[in-house]
Structure 1
Amino acid sequence: MISPLHYLPAHPEDAAAFVALRGQTRQNAISAERLAELGITAASWADMMENGNLSGVTCDHEGELVGYCFGDLETGEVIVLALLPAYEGQGIGRKLLELVVKQLHAKGHQTLFLGCSNDPESRSYGFYRHLGWRATGAIDKYGDEVLEYRF
């Protein structure tokens, strides 16, 4: 029997683990060093969570963090969805995204947005579109295509 997955609210004290996992994803991995260059460290991540702007959901399997999704409660942006490669294709990313989308909608957002690769070969390209996200025609400061989801 496969042990269960646990979906839990993210906690600021786990921010270092979020940074570490971000560098282990198969596509769009970003190292801790590169995140720091962008101003994202475990401390800044924890601060954003403690200030109430950043809300997230994690998934763990047998006590190991295997994925997470975070959204900005003020803007309605889905900031990041990250999953270890060994856990892809099991519906975990979809579930994490669903839970964060519900949080953002509960805060009153009727339209959500995120930055996504515009490369059709990228997993994220088809993933979000399959779930109803649509291109806006805009490109964010990182060169990613801005997608939106309307309720």
Structure 2
Amino acid sequence: MKIKHMIFREAKITDIRQIQIVRNSVKENTLSDPALVSDADCEEFMTRRGKGWVCEIDRAIAGFAIADLQENNIWALFVHPYYEGKGIGRELQRIMLDWYFSTGKTDVWLGTAPATKAEKFYTRSGWRRNGLHGRKEVKFEMTKEEWEKSRDVK
């Protein structure tokens, strides 16, 4: 599949329906119940707690990322399985972390399921493992300085 035109932009409330489609299409880090992440949750994290971004291809959301300034964490970074391996996750991460650290924050964390593509992605991207988040997720952390050193590593 050859992608002609990707648009990376700040997420809007009107994107939530498509964001939910992407979130519920993933094969790893799936939600046990899709109702656990409501449209209202997405709106709150995108507008009051932090900010979100999307990658749009042919007017469809191919991936999204949302940072949470209140909990100093990455609330979401997902790419539709059809578009995996095209650099969308890497670019969404770059945009999101550049913004996140520009707000004055000095560290960030996230949790992801072990033995997944996401775990490998975060390891390659310079995230540092730091135990578990809850009982089922690997906890990763990154400082602003670590991001500045690793942000352009492919």
Aligned match of 2:105: 109
2:124 to 130, 136, 150: 130
Please tell me whether the aligned partners of residues 69 and 96 of structure 1 are also in contact (alpha carbons under 8 angstroms): yes
Following superposition, the deviation at residue 18 of structure 1 comes to 1.4
1:59 to 45, 55, 71: 55
- Separation in 2, partners of 1:144, 1:87: 24
Structure 1 gaps, min length 5: none
2:75 to 74, 79, 82: 79
- Separation in 2, partners of 1:47, 1:118: 27
User: Over aligned residue pairs, what C-alpha RMSD do you find?
Assistant: 1.7
Please tell me whether the aligned partners of residues 59 and 66 of structure 1 are also in contact (alpha carbons under 8 angstroms): yes
- Separation in 2, partners of 1:94, 1:2: 16
Q: Secondary structure in 2 aligned to 1:99?
A: helix
Identity over aligned residues, as a percent?
A: 24
Once the two structures are superposed, residues 39-88 of structure 1 have per-residue CA deviations (whole angstroms, 9 ceiling, x without a partner) of x211232133332x131110011111100011102232011111111211
1:118 is matched by which residue type in structure 2? P
- Separation in 2, partners of 1:6, 1:143: 34
Q: Does 1:48 align with 2:45?
A: yes
1:140 is matched by which residue type in structure 2? H
- Separation in 2, partners of 1:97, 1:123: 15
- Separation in 2, partners of 1:142, 1:99: 30
Q: Which has the higher helix share?
A: 2
- Separation in 1, partners of 2:3, 2:23: 25
Q: TM-score under structure 1 normalisation?
A: 0.86
Q: TM-score under structure 2 normalisation?
A: 0.84
- Separation in 1, partners of 2:4, 2:138: 37
- Separation in 2, partners of 1:147, 1:91: 20
- Separation in 1, partners of 2:123, 2:3: 30
Following superposition, the deviation at residue 90 of structure 1 comes to 1.1
Q: What number of residue pairs does the alignment pair up? A: 143
